[in-house]
């Protein structure tokens, strides 16, 4: 058995990314109504100008701006109202000096006009005369053709996680379908003789499977798909058989449990029993989560996460998720906030500590309160909504300090 040095979380991520740099993820073309939170697999280039014509940004009167110069509440400019632009229609009128044409918000600017006076600053005397009480400058209240986007502009970049605004932008460009990465397929295996499924009776010494449910939801949350979730006893052959199924049907296999120093640690041996580079990382210097293992089996990634539910969630968020984002080249939105630490906490020497916290707003300020738990604590799970990272070279965190909180 090869000897593995415990690595930092950054080193661990690097090793995995380096080994799976050529991981190929297929793409599909789908309707933009179904692309929310999916990852864009192409640059979106505009093939039109938006808007495609000069538009008014207010309800008002299109004029030549010079006609309004000098206008004021006491000395208004008098102009001839020569027509009206209807919403959604081509404007036929042409504005000369002394002319005005009514234009609704979004309406097309008639030829000759270079600006729009808002109706608030105009008095309509009769059907053919208006008084302008305020000067406008050239271009005022006009959105010019291509002001927003020009033909050839890259509007959205490959790797973007698509949000509602992006989908609005795609619609305005007339893109009804876009190319996105397929959802990554995961296979979840909870290992351990003590693990029973949710509806089984719990006998003395057994505990319910928590991890596969939490992992299932974490995977869904990042846009992945779970092919199957299974509970497997601590038995080399059974585990190998299940991993084989996972490799056959999924992109990534995630095991949890069985990665501790216990006597029944088969994860390592099972990973190495397949073709491929075998175990790549065995142990990362974070707390909790040290017994994390990662390997290459048949060219696919296998993660072995700790059995402890809190540890497996932390390792998923802090280790697995960033690796997946990097492999898919995802440019994600900021997912952290700053909060005032509400406690003193010593770090563990030589280890990066991930401390779960719950965020609470008091008097308009955000506080992070620690959630401690010796192990597998439900209360810890159900009341935490973020974590802070205390680096190995820090002594700890102090009450009153402001820190970054990564949202769960």
- Indicate the SS3 state at residue 358: strand
Alpha helices in 90-187 (DSSP H): 164-172
- Residues between 362 and 391 that touch its own copies (CB under 8 A): 366, 373-382, 384-385
Pattern 285-324, its own copies, x by CB under 8 A: ----------------------xxx---x-----------
Among 106, 112, 159, 278, binds its own copies (CB under 8 A): 106
Of the candidate spans 125-133, 214-222, 274-282, 296-304, the one that interacts with its own copies by CB under 8 A turns out to be 214-222
Whether residue 161 contacts residue 4, with contact meaning beta carbons closer than 8 Å, is answered with no
**Residues in a beta bridge with 100:** 81
- Please, which residue, 100 or 280, has the CB nearer to its own copies? 100
Question: Judged by CB under 8 A, does residue 250 bind its own copies?
Answer: no
Q: Which is nearer to its own copies, 111 or 277 (CB)?
A: 111
If phi > 0 it is left, if psi is from -120 to 50 it is alpha, else beta; for residue 109 that is beta
Examine residue 209 and tell whether it contacts its own copies (CB under 8 A).
yes
Distances (CA, A) of 110 to 44, 59, 82: 32, 14, 11
Spatial contact of 116 and 76, defined as CB atoms under 8 Å apart: no
Residue closer to its own copies, measured from CB, 69 or 338: 338
Helix (H) or strand (E) holding 390: strand 386-390
Residue 33 as a binder of its own copies (CB under 8 A): the answer is yes
* Residue 101 or 380 with smaller CB distance to its own copies: 380
Single out the segment in contact with its own copies by CB under 8 A; choices: 127-135, 157-165, 235-243, 244-252: 157-165
Contact (Cβ atoms closer than 8 angstroms) between residue 311 and residue 33: no
CB of 296 to its own copies, least distance (A): 26
* Cβ–Cβ < 8 Å for 91, 140: no
- Least distance (Å) from its own copies to the CB of residue 369? 13
Which residues, other chains included, contact 248 with Cβ-Cβ below 8 Å and sequence gap of 6+?
Answer: none
Residue 171 interacting with its own copies (CB under 8 A): yes
Nearest-approach distance from CB 251 to its own copies, in angstroms: 20
Going by C-alpha positions, the residue among 253, 183, 171, 169 that lies closest to residue 41 is 183
Here the tokens at position 168 are 């609005």
Residue 252 interacts with its own copies (CB under 8 A): yes or no: no
163 is an interface residue for its own copies by CB under 8 A:
yes
What is the 3-state secondary structure of 14-43?
HHHHHHCCCCCCCEEEEEHHHCCCCEECCC
- Does position 156 interact with its own copies (CB under 8 A)? The reply is yes
Asked if 348 is part of the footprint of its own copies (rule: CB under 8 A), the reply reads: no
User: Which of 138, 176, 249, 344 contacts its own copies by CB under 8 A?
Assistant: 176
| Selected binder of its own copies within 2, 26, 75, 205 (CB under 8 A) | 205
CB of 261 to its own copies, least distance (A): 6
Token code pair at residue 27: 């793409």
Instruction: Name which of residues 51 to 70 contact its own copies (CB under 8 A).
Output: 51-53, 55, 57, 59
């Amino acid at each position: 058995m090869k000897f593995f040095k415990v690595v930092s979380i950054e080193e661990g991520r690097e090793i995995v990314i380096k080994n799976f740099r050529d991981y190929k993820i297929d793409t599909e073309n789908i309707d933009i109504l179904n692309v929310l939170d999916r990852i864009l697999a192409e640059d979106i280039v505009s093939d039109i100008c938006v808007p495609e014509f000069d538009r008014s940004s207010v309800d008002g009167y299109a004029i030549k701006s010079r006609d309004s110069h000098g206008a004021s509440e006491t000395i208004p400019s008098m102009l001839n109202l020569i027509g009206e632009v209807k919403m959604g229609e081509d404007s036929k009128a042409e504005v000369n000096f002394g002319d005005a044409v009514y234009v609704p918000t979004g309406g097309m600017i008639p030829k000759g006009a270079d600006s729009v006076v808002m109706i608030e600053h105009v008095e309509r005397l009769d059907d053919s005369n208006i008084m302008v009480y305020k000067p406008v400058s050239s271009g005022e209240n006009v959105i010019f053709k291509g002001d927003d986007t020009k033909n050839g502009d890259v509007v959205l970049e490959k790797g973007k996680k698509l949000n509602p605004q992006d989908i609005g932008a795609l619609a305005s460009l007339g893109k009804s379908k876009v190319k996105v990465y397929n959802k990554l397929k995961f296979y979840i295996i909870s290992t351990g003789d003590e693990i029973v499924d949710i509806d089984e009776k719990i006998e003395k010494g057994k505990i319910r499977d928590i991890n596969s449910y939490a992992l299932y939801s974490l995977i869904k949350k990042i846009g992945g798909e779970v092919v199957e979730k299974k509970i497997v006893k601590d038995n080399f052959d059974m585990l190998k058989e299940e991993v084989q199924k996972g490799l056959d049907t999924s992109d990534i296999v995630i095991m949890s449990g069985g990665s501790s120093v216990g006597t029944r640690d088969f994860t390592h041996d099972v990973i190495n029993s397949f073709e491929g580079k075998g175990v790549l990382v065995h142990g990362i210097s974070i707390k909790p989560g040290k017994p994390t293992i990662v390997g290459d089996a048949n060219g696919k990634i296998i993660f072995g996460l700790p059995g402890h539910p809190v540890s497996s969630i932390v390792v998923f968020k802090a280790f697995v998720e960033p690796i997946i984002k990097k492999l898919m080249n995802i440019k994600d939105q900021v997912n952290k906030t700053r909060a005032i630490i509400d406690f003193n906490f010593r770090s563990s020497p030589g280890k990066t500590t991930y401390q779960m916290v719950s965020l609470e707003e008091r008097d308009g300020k955000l506080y992070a309160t620690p959630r401690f738990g010796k192990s597998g604590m439900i209360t810890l799970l159900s009341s935490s909504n973020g974590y802070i990272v205390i680096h190995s070279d820090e002594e700890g965190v102090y009450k009153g300090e402001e820190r970054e909180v990564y949202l769960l």
